[in-house]
Amino acid sequence: MIRKLARALSLSVLGIALLPTGAFAASTQVAVAANFTDAAKEIAEAFKAKTGDDAVLSFGSTGQFYTQITQGAPFEVFLAADDVRPKKAVDEGYGVAGSVFTYAIGQLVLYSNQAGKVTGEDTLKGGDFAKIAIANPEAAPYGAAAIEAMKGLGLYETLRPKIVQGTSIAQAYQFVQTGNAELGFVALGQVINAKGGSRWDVPQSLYTPIRQDAVLLKTGETNEAAKAFVEFLKTPEAVEIIRKYGYRTGE
C-alpha cells in the first residue's frame, strides 16, 4: 500500500512538472481606443511572450467605453484616446489613483485609399470629393481633432455638408476603405503600413495634441496581470512598438 501511494504521489508531482508554463497564466480585460488597434495587438503579443499572461483586448470609441465602464463593464485597464476620461475615471471612483499616464500622443492624418488623391490642405480647399469621413467628435477625440483642424483652416462650414460620421475612428477608416467616403480624417497608426493610397499628416498647430492616457481601473486593482500590463506599456519594448505605429511618446 505504501509503495502504491508513493508511486501515485510521484506520478502526480511529475504531472505538475510537465504542465505547460501557460497553464497558470493569468489574463486581464483591456478596453482599447480603436485608433490604437494594431499597436495594441502587437503589444499584447509581446506581453504574452514576456509574462505568459494574456491581455484580452476590446476595441471601440473612448466615449462609449467610458459609458460602459460606469455601467459596470468588466474592463480592468483602459487605454483611452484622450487624457480626459482616464482622469475622470479616477475622479469618479472607477480608476486607481496615481495610475494614469500618457502612453501615446496621436497624429491626425487626412487619408484616401486612392493614390495621389490627397496632396495636402489643398485637397480640402479644392473640394473635389463628395464625402469625407470623421469619427463622432462626442465619443472619439480624433473626430474632435478633425473638426478643430477644419475650423483652423477656415473650411468647416464649407465641408460640413460632406461629412459622414463613424461611431469610432475605426468605422471612419472603414468608410474610406469601402468607398463610402473618398477621404477621411483618421489616425496615423491606422494607415502607417497601408499599401498604396495617399495621406497628409495634419500639422500639430491645427489641433490640440491628442494625448492618449491609460488608467488601471478599480476592477483590476487586485489583478496582478492587469497591473503588469500597465507597467509593460512603459517598458522600452512597448515604447518601441508604439513609436513604430507613428505615435509620439515621452512628452
- pLDDT per residue, tens digit, the chain (251 aa), is 545 444 444 444 444 344 444 456 799 999 999 999 999 999 999 999 999 999 999 999 999 999 999 999 999 999 999 999 999 999 999 999 999 999 999 999 999 999 999 999 999 999 999 999 999 999 899 999 999 999 999 999 999 999 999 999 999 999 999 999 999 999 999 999 988 899 999 999 999 999 999 999 999 999 999 999 999 999 999 999 999 999 999 76
Query: b vs e for 129-143, b when ≥16 Cβ sit within 10 Å of the residue's Cβ?
Result: bebbbbbbbebbbbb
What does DSSP say about strands 183-187 and 108-112: parallel, antiparallel, or unpaired?
antiparallel
Examine residue 123 and state whether it is found in any structural domain, yes or no: yes
Examine residue 51 and state whether it is found in any structural domain, yes or no: yes
Examine residue 19 and state whether it is found in any structural domain, yes or no: no
Indicate if 131 and 202 belong to the same structural domain. Answer: yes
Q: For the domain that residue 128 is a member of, what is the CATH number?
A: 3.40.190.10
- Structural domain including 30 reads 26-105+210-244
Query: Rounded CA gap, 109 and 102, in Å?
Result: 20
What is the number of domains present in the chain?
A: 2
Q: Is 192 exposed, middle or buried, given 0-12, 13-18 or 19+ CB atoms closer than 10 A?
A: middle
Residues 6+ apart with CB under 8 A from 22: 52
Query: Rounded CA gap, 121 and 119, in Å?
Result: 7
Examine residue 9 and state whether it is found in any structural domain, yes or no: no
Examine residue 112 and state whether it is found in any structural domain, yes or no: yes
CA 186 to chain CA centroid, Å, is 12
Indicate if 219 and 201 belong to the same structural domain. Answer: no
Indicate if 195 and 116 belong to the same structural domain. Answer: yes
Indicate if 94 and 82 belong to the same structural domain. Answer: yes
